[in-house]
Structure 1
């Protein structure tokens, strides 16, 4: 229920109900998400964020007041506390150009790469393994498959960054001393957080970063993505 609600907030935010191309800014969408959570009576554990990547723009550009244009790719990070539990989700959207009905194939392929990285992550998870062992196997397999991966998964529960093994950090892809040495146990939850970079032919081979974060339950035998995972970009008309 809580993860489904998080997904629903994102789905509405990444729609023409909230976004008008050429007018709405990423800052507007961030504040809409924050107000939506307040209206629903849930407690943010971090401020919802939205950023954009466009043809000719670097994903390192973090200016928050930029206007959203047709042809942009949008990314968000949203999470809240409710009933003693935390959620933490990242998804992506594309703002359609006039006459388009789909995102460019290159962006769709980038999402496929990020989904593959999720699969490599899930396959590397075994009871009793450390976070660093899971990280190494997942990254090794992803690089071997031609991906450009980065993993930074964290336990999820009563706290947004809960007790348990850290599986990579943004700036520590070779392992995390201490926190990455904790073991994986069954019946635990994680925010499977990662990104895959890919060159987009339609954008003159510009590299984009497709970032995903999905809440999941490790049963002891398999990883279950709660409320599913993003396999298609949200489309803003």
Structure 2
């Protein structure tokens, strides 16, 4: 009871959040160098967030949709969501004031050809902030799916893409009941023209535009700043604070800031003489190597970061050399993986090639990198899984340009200062691939954070 009360006092001291800013501050540029204890960027008010979200959404609809539909040779793309049962693509296309689909929301994109603008139609009772043209009058045609069939018949598309997929949930939004209802309304001729919208879904969700990448560094910086607070004596008192205390500190801190985690934060402890990763009610002690996995959602973009920290023993002034070398090993694997990004290369090939090169250098790697952006574990090909370092169908897709990634991996090394104990050096940093090079959005950790005396 005394321990928990003491931890709560240290938590209260850092829960005061800066006031929400009314307008966006100047953008933070992308950087290969991560600041060790960055200041927390201003957090936008909800009204300003809505302006940013809707502005970027409008730009994405104007630019990404024509590009991917024409490159994939699809002239009509139809999506459907039911209230509180959003499919991921439709959810990403709702404006900032539309919390969810209303009743049944149907979206249609149609390419008339000859360079004409893409039609954006919503077959629903409610418009979507002017981003889609309302195209259903229930008083004239009560049957919503018949209204869809009439729109399709009038345009007579060669291909009708709907979202179904065995590989990715991002392209599998059409439910069986709604597919059957739609099929019943369509003519036999148009039913024969149905194709999968899987690739369209993935490309829509994975593609990042310049306006998003202008915002992304400040979002990642926000995550880095909060991690720096967590890995400090403001939050951690060796001998008192538990791993779980720090996890819940994260949650309280985000709540005060008006931010959302997309997963419950992780805190793990590696300790000389202890097997594996300690967590939960384990009390943090001097000499521990700490690990965190932390991600936020802000302005419809996600972060995913893993950092390491070391709690100095009395009399120590720096991280033991064996631990410092372990993080350098993981940094080297990051470099190898970044060099193996290539447009069109399958994720599996990038993983297997990088792993082979790292092993040839005497390293002991495990690579499990994933796309990030609209979702934390985002649409696009996986580059390995922690539990599968061989070929995986989920990694068969191509790496595309203008995509964001969590460069997530680990290496294992025996640490002399810990009697040759095998230690896990996990790291994860968000990066952007422009089609030629991989750049970190707000740098990467290259030095283990030191938690010293108060």
State the partner residue of 1:45: 262
2:363 is the counterpart of 1:147: yes
Corresponding residue number in structure 1 for 2:325: 109
Q: TM-score of the superposition, structure 2-length normalised?
A: 0.51
Give the alignment partner of residue 9 of structure 1, picking from 226, 237, 255: 226
Matched, 1:19 2:236: yes
Q: Is 1:131 aligned with 2:382? A: no
CA contact (8 A) 1:155 1:165 kept: yes
Contact 2:269 2:279 in 1 (8 A): no
Equivalent position of 1:168 in the other structure? 384
Give the secondary-structure state (helix, strand or coil) at the position aligned to 1:118: helix
Unaligned segments of structure 1, at least 5 residues: none
Q: Which runs of 4+ in 1 moved over 6 A?
A: none
User: What is the rounded CA distance, in whole Å, between the counterparts of 2:237 and 2:279 in structure 1?
Assistant: 19
Counterparts of 1:198 and 1:64 in 2: how far apart (Å)?
25
Aligned residue pair count: 235
* Cα distance in 1 between the residues matched to 2:284 and 2:386: 26
- The equivalences for 1:35-74 within 5 A come to 35-59=252-276, 61-74=277-290
Partner residue of 1:79 out of 295, 304, 327: 295
Task: Flag the structure with more relative contact order, 1 or 2, with Cα contacts below 8 A and sequence separation at least 6.
Answer: 1
SS at match of 1:230: coil
- Bigger shift: 1-10 or 35-44? 35-44
Could you say what secondary structure the match of 1:100 adopts?
coil
Offset at residue 37 of structure 1 (A)? 1.2
TM-score using structure 1 length: 0.97
For the Cα contact (< 8 Å) 2:244–2:279, is it kept in 1?
A: no
After alignment, is 33-42 or 149-158 more displaced?
33-42
Secondary structure of the corresponding residue to residue 175 of structure 1: coil
Question: Residue 193 in 1 paired to residue 400 in 2?
Answer: no
Shift of 1:62: 4.3
Could you tell me how far apart the structure 2 residues matched to 1:36 and 1:213 are?
21
Higher strand share: 1
Matches of 1:58 and 1:101, distance apart in 2: 26
Q: Does the aligned pair in 1 maintain the 2:267–2:279 contact within 8 Å?
A: no
| Inter-partner Cα distance in structure 2 for 1:58 and 1:11 | 26
* Unaligned 5+ runs, structure 2: 1-217
User: How far, CA to CA, are the matches of 2:355 and 2:371 in structure 1?
Assistant: 19
Which of 438, 442, 446 is equivalent to 1:227? Answer: 442
Contact 2:270 2:278 in 1 (8 A): no
User: Which structure's CA Rg is the greater one?
Assistant: 2
More helix by share: 2
- Distance, in Å, in 2 between the alignment partners of 1:226 and 1:210 is 21
How large is the RMSD of aligned CA atoms in angstroms?
0.8
Per-residue CA distance 1:23-63 (angstroms, 9 max, x = gap): 1111111111111111111111100110000101122x444
Q: Distance in 2 between matches of 1:37 and 1:218?
A: 29
Q: Is the 8 A contact 1:167 1:176 kept in 2?
A: no
C-alpha displacement at 1:175, in angstroms? 2.1
Which secondary structure does the structure 2 equivalent of 1:221 belong to?
A: coil
2:434 is the counterpart of 1:214: no
